[in-house]
């Protein structure tokens, strides 16, 4: 039997040229099954264009994007293979959420029962018989995910799914996507919410100005920056700042009375403090978070082109 060996997404030298603008520029990356991959980039980086090429909605100028080895348009039964939410779902205003899903089921040859299962999955059962026009943005996002899940797809592609969700909704989304990945599905999610991505994603693909900046497990991307800082608390801030100046460390005082020191390891800071007879109340190495790393990696690559 032939067919895709896995449900990986493979983007290979993908390029999209719009007149003078190269929206996506020779982009290559892999999204692995069984993991949540965060797709990150400043505004205008080319994320949506990439996802649209992956889903066969935009024709690449060059390169390919495949799912389990096939282009989207070559998939035999796409709704059972790939679920996608590219923007907050739209439905006929006067139609109920349940009827909206049933119509999709009928068009795709899926049993009606899938509508209720998908509504249950996204927590919309209580609103199943309410009309779409009364749905909040968060409910529309949930309905979009329900529609994407109708075919029980192995691959999910979501563009900014957390938009419009309240903190409880964001947490719900995180739990759902992690659970779907834990079942072995491929989950590719674009987002601007970097704090949320750090909690959600196993891997990240970072894009700026159409080009790949970094890809890999979140831990590796965070670690690779070596963005280590050390949080220090002392009642002798002036003396410590002097002592650290001598070892070329940079000190930035924080509003909470601590100082963040970069350019020296905790041991070197402790030693400098000891040698200067400075009392320390805290000495905590801190790694840069995804937001700091993202801003460093994409610095100067203005989003709006």
Residues that bind ligand ATP (CB under 6 A): 18, 21, 23, 41, 43-49, 305
Q: Which residues pair with 14 in a beta bridge?
A: 27
Q: Which residues pair with 10 in a beta bridge?
A: 30, 66
Helical H runs in the chain?
47-54, 78-81, 97-108, 113-121, 137-149, 167-182, 194-200, 218-224, 237-246, 266-275, 290-297
Q: Closest separation between CB of residue 205 and ligand ATP, Å?
A: 12
Nearer to ligand ATP, 72 or 132 (CB): 72
**Whether 293 contacts 268, CB under 8 Å:** no
For residues 60 and 14, what is the distance between their CA atoms, to the nearest angstrom? 7
**Whether 63 contacts 13, CB under 8 Å:** yes
For residues 40 and 234, what is the distance between their CA atoms, to the nearest angstrom? 38
Q: Closest separation between CB of residue 305 and ligand ATP, Å?
A: 4
Nearer to ligand ATP, 86 or 264 (CB): 86
Q: Closest separation between CB of residue 252 and ligand ATP, Å?
A: 30
Nearer to ligand ATP, 23 or 145 (CB): 23
Residue 164: how many CB atoms within 10 A of its CB?
A: 16
Nearer to ligand ATP, 18 or 274 (CB): 18
Q: Closest separation between CB of residue 89 and ligand ATP, Å?
A: 17
Q: Closest separation between CB of residue 304 and ligand ATP, Å?
A: 7
Nearer to ligand ATP, 45 or 232 (CB): 45
């Amino acid at each position: 039997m032939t067919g895709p060996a896995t449900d990986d997404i493979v983007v290979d030298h993908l390029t999209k040229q719009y007149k003078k603008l190269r929206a996506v520029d020779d982009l290559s990356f892999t999204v692995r099954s069984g993991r949540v991959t965060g797709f990150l980039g400043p505004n205008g980086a080319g994320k949506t264009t990439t996802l649209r090429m992956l889903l066969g909605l935009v024709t690449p100028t060059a390169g390919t994007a495949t799912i389990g080895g096939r282009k989207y348009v070559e998939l035999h039964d796409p709704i059972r293979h790939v679920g996608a939410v590219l923007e907050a779902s739209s439905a006929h205003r006067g139609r109920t959420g349940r009827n909206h899903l049933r119509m999709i089921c009928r068009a795709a040859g899926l049993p009606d029962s899938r509508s209720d299962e998908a509504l249950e999955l996204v927590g919309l059962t209580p609103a199943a018989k309410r009309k779409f026009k009364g749905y909040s943005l968060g409910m529309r996002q949930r309905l979009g995910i329900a529609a994407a899940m109708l075919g029980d797809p192995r691959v999910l592609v979501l563009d900014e799914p957390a938009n419009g969700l309240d903190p409880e909704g964001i947490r719900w989304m995180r739990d759902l996507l992690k659970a779907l990945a834990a079942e072995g599905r491929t989950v590719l999610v674009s987002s601007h919410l970097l704090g949320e991505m750090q909690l959600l994603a196993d891997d990240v693909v970072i894009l700026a100005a159409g080009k790949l900046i970094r890809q890999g497990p979140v831990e590796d991307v965070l670690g690779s920056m070596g963005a280590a800082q050390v949080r220090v608390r002392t009642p002798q801030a002036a003396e410590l700042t002097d002592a650290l100046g001598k070892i070329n460390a940079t000190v930035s005082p924080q509003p909470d009375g601590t100082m963040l020191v970069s350019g020296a390891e905790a041991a070197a800071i402790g030693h400098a403090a000891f040698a200067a007879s400075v009392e320390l109340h805290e000495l905590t190495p801190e790694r840069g978070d995804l937001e700091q790393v993202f801003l460093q990696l994409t610095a100067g690559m203005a989003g709006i082109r």
